[in-house]
Structure 1
Amino acid sequence: MPYIERNGIKIHFEEEGRGEPLLLLMGLGADLSAWEPHRQVYRNCFRCISVDNRGAGLSDAGKAEDCTTESMAADAAAVLDSLDIKGAHVAGISMGGAIAQILAVLRPELVRSLLLINTFARPEPYMRRIMGTFQDFYDCLTPLAFDRLLQAFIYSPATFAGHPEVLTERERQLEQNTDSRMAADAFRAQCEACMGHDALPYLERIRVPALVVAGKADILTPLSCAEELKSRIPGAKLYVNEGGHVQHFEHLDVFNRISLEFLKKNMGQKEAGI
């Protein structure tokens, strides 16, 4: 399994597909396998590089105080550097989108386009309270009970009402994979990274095509977060899908079509300023 090491921390990543590089950054508490419903479309056109953020999947956690969106952006940049990739399209979901923003600001030469999914430039007070609740209950509840708490914040009411089988299947998979659960300290550190994220003062520096995708019923990163990103990133576009914080799963076919259209449209795009 491929790893890079940065400042003593091993970061795991995977590659598949052929074409222009596409860096995939996942959100809070999730490993790179969560990209699979999207990778199965992307890998037909792109060289997908999926990264386990520090503390997730097979990557080391390191010290909790070192877990920030800046450090995770540097980890992702180190992966690209190790592969001698001079520029990539970058997609990030939730916390992964926050990391992608920082990467585009700190290493603009590495970023050809930005796909920002259900994410935020700066956490709102409501999101901070939710993150604090997640931290408090992560190892107080059973994995199943905690996931049911999480479901209430990330899925839309329409999924609970119309597609309860989606949640049942999620719970079945969770019960079969309890050994892969993220360590509590690492999870809390990622929550702190989200709460400490603030790219708002720097978004105007981003000079690559950007698509912001939001869920109409997202309460964790509401539509106002997406609108803020669109207004601050020059030339950014906004697509509002049905669904909640995981609209990319709830309305998978629509999301895959919209995101792939954006990525393919920007094939051949050079890095900022070139």
Structure 2
Amino acid sequence: MGEMINANGAEFWVERRGQGPDVLLIAGLGDPAEVWQAQLDGLSDRYRITAFDNRGAGRTPLPEGPLSVPGMADDAAALLRALDIPAAHIAGFSGGSLIAQELALGHPGLVRSLVLMSTWARSDAYLRTMTGFWHWMAERAPSERAMLDAFYLWVYTPRAHADGTVEGFIEETLAFPHPQSTEAFQRQLEAFRTHDTLDRLAQITAPTLVLAGELDRAAPPRLGRVVAEGIPGARFEVLPGEAHQPFQEVPDVFNARVDAFWREVEARG
């Protein structure tokens, strides 16, 4: 069970599981903490896992005014401090990976290491056009199911569409009692599509692992490679046959990879 935590002037829904070195998981566009269920279940025997709802997702309210990635990074930092976590391994995917970048830049002492899944440093023309389409699609789709049917084409592999995995995710999303509003989706999206750390990545000092899905249409490997090349000492790996969210589609593979990375960082002290 989770709880509401006051941090940075807002109430955030937080779920925590397990014991061991601290890990903070940061979700992407529209996703509540539950998106990390396979990590909350699969890694909590070795780590103390914390996941939370970003502003405007799940049970965390949408504030007045625009959202920004640095502001959401400040939220994550405030949550760590409110939970008395001096430093944590940070893992973020998609929009959450952008928040993780800003967290490492603005609050380096809180970041033990970084895992950036499906990430980018600056939107290119393809990403800007794609996210522009998502913005008006959220308003004009004839139903929530139709919106999810279209949106998930960019998120999951053809395999997951064929074997019923995507249909299961759609049913779970439609049944979730805290759906995201169109306004919240669009405001989060605007923050993520204007993200730009390209000229600041060299300032990141935390050990970093950048992961990309070979078949990812939303954040293809070419964007992740730029991030890895910009962060001193970062590793870059492409997951063959995977798309935007392998931590959901192949959680055992993802969990084993990040566990190995975190164990290596811990061993180095």
TM-score range, shorter chain: over 0.9
In structure 2, the residue matched to 1:230 is 228
User: Is 2:247 aligned against 1:262?
Assistant: no
SS of aligned partner of 1:147? helix
User: Which digits, 9 at most, give the CA deviation of each residue in 1:228-269, with x for residues without a partner?
Assistant: 011001111112112111222222221121111111221266
Task: State the Cα distance separating 1:107 from its structure 2 match.
Answer: 0.5
* TM-score of the aligned structures, taking structure 1 as reference length: 0.92
- Verify: 1:148 aligned to 2:149, yes or no: yes
Unaligned residue ranges in structure 1 (runs of 5+): none
- 1:13 is matched with 14
Q: Is the 8 A contact 1:144 1:174 kept in 2?
A: no
Counterpart in the other structure of 2:114: 114
Q: Is the 8 A contact 1:158 1:243 kept in 2?
A: no
**Which residue is 1:82 aligned to?**
82
Could you tell me how far apart the structure 2 residues matched to 1:152 and 1:167 are?
Answer: 9
What's 1:2 paired with? 4
Could you tell me whether the CA contact under 8 Å between 1:89 and 1:263 is conserved in 2? yes
Cα-to-partner distance string for 1:208-243 (whole Å, 9 max, x where unaligned) = 211011000111101111110110011111121121
- 153, 178, 185: which one pairs with 1:187? 185
Compute the displacement of 1:35 (Å): 0.5
Instruction: Give the deviation of 1:168 after TM superposition.
Output: 2.2
Q: Are residues 76 and 268 of structure 1, via their aligned partners in 2, closer, same or farther at CA, if it must alter by over 3 Å?
A: farther
Alignment match of 1:196 (pick from 178, 194, 197): 194
Aligned residues of 2:216 and 2:242 also touching (Cα < 8 A): yes
Q: Show CA shifts across 1:146-176 (max 9, x none).
A: 001011111223433xx43112212322333
CA contact (8 A) 1:73 1:100 kept: yes
Matches within 5 A, 1:153-172: 153-160=154-161, 163-172=162-171
Q: Distance in 2 between matches of 1:90 and 1:215?
A: 19
Secondary structure at the aligned position of 1:129 is classed as helix
| Number of residue pairs matched by the alignment | 265
- What is the alpha-carbon distance in structure 1 between the residues aligned to residue 193 and residue 203 of structure 2? 22
State whether residues 64 and 189 of structure 1, in contact with CA within 8 Å, keep that contact through their aligned partners in structure 2. no
Aligned to 2:214: 216
Write the distance in 1 (CA, Å) between the matches of 2:230 and 2:11. Answer: 34
Is residue 213–residue 239 contact of structure 1 (8 Å, CA) maintained in 2? yes
1:167 aligned partner, one-letter code: V
Q: Distance in 2 between matches of 1:5 and 1:254?
A: 33
- Match in the other structure for 1:247: 246
Q: Map residues 3-152 of structure 1 onto 2, 5 A cutoff.
A: 3-7=5-9, 9-65=10-66, 67-141=67-141, 142-152=143-153
- TM-score normalised to the size of structure 2? 0.93
Query: Does the 8 A contact of 1:25 with 1:99 survive in 2?
Result: yes
Unpaired runs of 5+ in structure 2?
Answer: none
Matching residue's letter, 2:135: Q
